[in-house]
């Protein structure tokens, strides 16, 4: 099983390996170095595939049989050599604030320095009109939180899932509600890939790990992202939830509710939402993207396009 070498990647891979071992599989973990781990340049410069393509190549070549990725780091195009064998039960998808002195977003004074390298987080923070000073930031979870500890920044915004997988959820000072801050499509979810044709591995992983509600939700979010042709550096957020609804006869049915945010060419944020059938997650994502485009969302191109 291949993984990046970061503490977060190792923690995520360890969880997946443990679940497979509990199902009777023998698992060996192999660390694969990726260009994304070796560079400090902004993601917008080095491209969206930097964290995942080395792992995918090693899998396609047969050096490893399974790759575990943070789903949101994967490019939207499916690699034809590989199959997405499982989307395990997703963690809390929301973003989180780690601020000095236990502060929340609303308690930060105008001019406070808030670190994030994500155009999506920066655009949504700006839209709150709090007068925050958004400071570009990259690096692993530990070093980002370290910039607050050192007093250099008043706060940083990170994925809650990453912080909690590292056992540091107690350092979060506020979990940001999606109505203010929509997460990246597929944030908090893992993608477990294997080789096309390796049906035994695919079946083991799918039957042991796949969670259909998580898969439906991220499928809708990623379909929206793909239809906006946005790369990871574009300010696009999306979050789908499985919700209870009533049909015409008053019977409880489960539906997929999707919310999305995208920017106009002038960098104003547009928000929209839609509900659809659980079995039509992809169509729901595409429909919401079409609505955002109708409202004036920019057709964005990522660093790879
Ligand atoms: N972009 C890096 C990255 N990829 C996945 C996570 C966190 C875990 C997840 O969202 O699944 C992070 C860190 C962050 O955004 O704070």
pTM of the model: 0.92
pLDDT band at 8 (very low <50, low <70, confident <90, very high): very high
CATH architecture for the domain at 217-294: 2-Layer Sandwich (3.30)
Take atom 8 of ligand 1 and give the residue whose Cα is closest. Answer: 162
Q: What are the pLDDT digits (tens) for 121-144? A: 999 999 999 999 999 998 899 999
Q: What are the pLDDT digits (tens) for 208-267? A: 999 999 999 999 999 999 999 755 466 899 999 999 999 899 999 999 999 999 998 888
Q: Rounded to an integer, what distance in angstroms lies between the CA atom of residue 51 and that of residue 36? A: 5
* Residue recorded with tokens 């989307």: 87
Q: Is 164 in the pocket of ligand 1 (CB under 6 A)?
A: no
Mean pLDDT (the chain) is 92
Q: Is 73 in the pocket of ligand 1 (CB under 6 A)?
A: yes
Closest by CA to 304, choosing from 125, 23, 74, is 74
Told to judge if 65 belongs to the known catalytic residues of this protein, a careful annotator would answer no
Task: Report the CATH number of the 2-88+189-210 domain.
Answer: 3.40.190.10
Same-fold call for 2-88+189-210 versus 95-175: yes
Active-site entry in 18, 57, 65, 73: 73
The interface pTM score, or ipTM, of the predicted complex is: 0.95
pLDDT band at 33 (very low <50, low <70, confident <90, very high): confident
Q: Is 158 in the pocket of ligand 1 (CB under 6 A)?
A: yes
Q: Which atom of ligand 1 is nearest to the CA of 158?
A: 16
95-175, which class in CATH?
Answer: alpha beta
Q: What are the pLDDT digits (tens) for 95-124? A: 999 999 999 999 999 999 999 999 999 999
Closest by CA to 281, choosing from 245, 246, 253, 241, is 241
How close is the Cα of 266 to the center of ligand 1, in Å?
Answer: 27
Please report, for the chain, the start and end positions of each structural domain, with discontinuous segments joined by +. Answer: 2-88+189-210, 95-175, 217-294
Q: Is 59 in the pocket of ligand 1 (CB under 6 A)?
A: no
């Amino acid at each position: 099983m291949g993984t990046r070498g970061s503490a977060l990647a190792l923690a995520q891979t360890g969880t997946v390996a443990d679940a497979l071992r509990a199902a009777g599989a023998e698992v060996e973990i192999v660390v694969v170095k990726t260009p994304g781990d070796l560079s400090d340049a902004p993601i917008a410069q080095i491209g969206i595939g930097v964290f995942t393509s080395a792992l995918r190549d090693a899998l396609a070549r047969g050096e490893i049989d399974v790759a575990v990725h943070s789903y949101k780091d994967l490019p939207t195009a499916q690699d034809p050599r590989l199959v997405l064998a499982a989307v395990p039960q997703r963690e809390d998808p929301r973003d989180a604030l780690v601020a000095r002195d236990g502060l929340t977003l609303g308690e930060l004074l105008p001019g406070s320095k808030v670190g994030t390298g994500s155009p999506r987080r920066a655009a949504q923070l700006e839209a709150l009109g709090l007068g925050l000073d958004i400071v570009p930031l990259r690096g692993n979870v530990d070093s980002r939180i370290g910039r607050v500890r050192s007093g250099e920044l008043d706060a940083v915004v990170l994925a809650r899932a990453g912080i909690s997988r590292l056992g540091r959820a107690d350092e979060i000072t506020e979990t940001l509600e999606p109505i203010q801050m929509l997460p990246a499509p597929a944030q908090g979810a893992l993608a477990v890939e294997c080789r096309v044709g390796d049906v035994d591995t695919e079946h083991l992983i799918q039957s042991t790990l796949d969670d259909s509600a998580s898969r439906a939700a991220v499928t809708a979010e990623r379909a929206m992202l793909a239809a906006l042709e946005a790369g990871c550096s574009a300010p696009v957020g999306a979050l789908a939830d499985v919700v209870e609804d009533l049909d015409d006869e008053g019977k409880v049915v489960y539906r997929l509710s999707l919310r999305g945010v995208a920017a106009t060419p002038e960098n104003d944020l547009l928000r929209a939402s839609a509900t659809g059938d659980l079995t039509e997650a992809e169509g729901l994502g595409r429909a919401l993207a079409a609505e955002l485009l109708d409202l004036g969302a920019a057709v964005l191109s990522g660093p790879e396009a």
